Amino acid sequence: MTKRRIGTVLKYVFLFAMSFLSIFPLVWMAISATNRSVDVVSGRLLPGTYLVENFRNLASTHRIGLAMWNSFRNAVTATIASLVVCSLAGYGFEIYHDKGKDFLMRLLLLSMMIPFAAIMIPLFMMVGRMGLLNTTTAFVLPTVSTAFLIFLFRQSARYFPQDVIEAARLEGMSELGIFFRMYIPIMRSTYVTAGIITFMNAWNSYLWPLIIMQSKESIVMPLLISNLIAGYVTDYGMVMLGVTLSVLPTVIIFLLLQNSFAEGILSSVR
C-alpha cells in the first residue's frame, strides 16, 4: 500500500515537473517582455514595469506594426483562399466521385510527399518570373491548394447525407447553392479545424517569406523576430516582447479552441 502511494506521489511530481518545464519558457518570455534587459540577464522572474519602454524601443527600431499587419493580412488571405478552394474540391471529389476523379485524388495525394526544400528553388524562380516577389499573392499561391486540406474536406463530405442533397435538388436548388447554403453550415467544425491549421501555418511560415519577401515593406513577423537577435548586443526585454507579440495570436487560438486544435493535428494523418 505504501509502495503504491509512493508511486502515486512520484507520478504527480513527474507530471507537475513536466508541465512546469513545458510552460516555463513561455512564462519566462512573457515576464521578460516586461523587464529591462539587465534584469532579464540577472535572472529576474517577476513581472516588471518596462513593458511600455520595451515597446517603444521595439517600435522605434523595427517596423512591428507593419510586420503584424502584413502577417495578419497574409494569413487571413491564405486561410480564406485555402478554405474556399480546398473545400470546393473536397466536396466535389466526394459527392460527384467517379473513377476519373478518384484517380485524380490519389494523384494529388502524392504531392504530400514533396518536401518544401525540394521545390523552393523552382518556386522562387517561378514567382520571380511572374513579377510577384514581395507580394501577398506570392506568399499565398503555393499553399492555397493542399492535398491534405482537400482530403480533410473530402472525408467530412462523406458524412454529408446524400438524401439532403437529393431533396435540395428536387426543390430546385443549384449544385453550388447546395454547397454554400447546406454543406458549409453543417460542416462548420471542419472549417474551424482547417482554418486553424491554415492560419497557423501561414502566420508561422518562415522559409518561404525569407526567400520571397525581400523588400522592407513586405516584412512579416517571423522575419522580424528573427532579425531581432541578429545584432551584436541583445536587448532581451525588447526581443521577448517581439516574440510574445508573434506568438500571441496562435496561443489565444490554442487556448480558446484547444480541442479543434488537437483535432487538426490528428487529422493530418487520418
Find the binding residues for another protein in span 68-87 (CB under 8 A): 85-86
Closest by CA position to 191, among listed 249, 267, 252: 267
Could you say whether residue 122 binds another protein (CB under 8 A)?
A: yes
**Segment interacting with another protein, rule: CB under 8 A, options 47-55, 56-64, 144-152, 186-194:** 144-152
Confirm if 153 and 145 have CB atoms less than 8 A apart: no
Q: Select from 6, 59, 112, 164 the one that contacts another protein (CB under 8 A).
A: 112
Indicate whether 41 belongs to the interface with another protein (CB under 8 A): yes
Return the residues of window 7-26 that contact another protein according to CB under 8 A. Answer: 7, 11-12, 14-15, 18-23, 25-26
Q: By CB under 8 A, is residue 2 in contact with another protein? A: no
Task: Give the one residue of 52, 113, 216, 217 binding another protein; rule: CB under 8 A.
Answer: 113
By CB under 8 A, residue 32 contacts another protein: yes
Pick 42 or 49: Cβ nearer another protein: 42
Residue 162 as a binder of another protein (CB under 8 A): the answer is no
Name which of 41 and 59 has its Cβ closer to another protein: 41
Pattern 236-255, binding to another protein, x per CB under 8 A?
A: x--xx--x--xx--xx-xxx
Choose the binding region for another protein from 54-62, 72-80, 131-139, 261-269 (rule: CB under 8 A): 261-269
Q: Which residues between 180 and 239 bind another protein (CB under 8 A)? A: 200, 203-204, 206-207, 210-211, 222, 225-226, 228-229, 234, 236, 239
Residue from 51, 66, 88, 133 binding another protein (CB under 8 A): 88
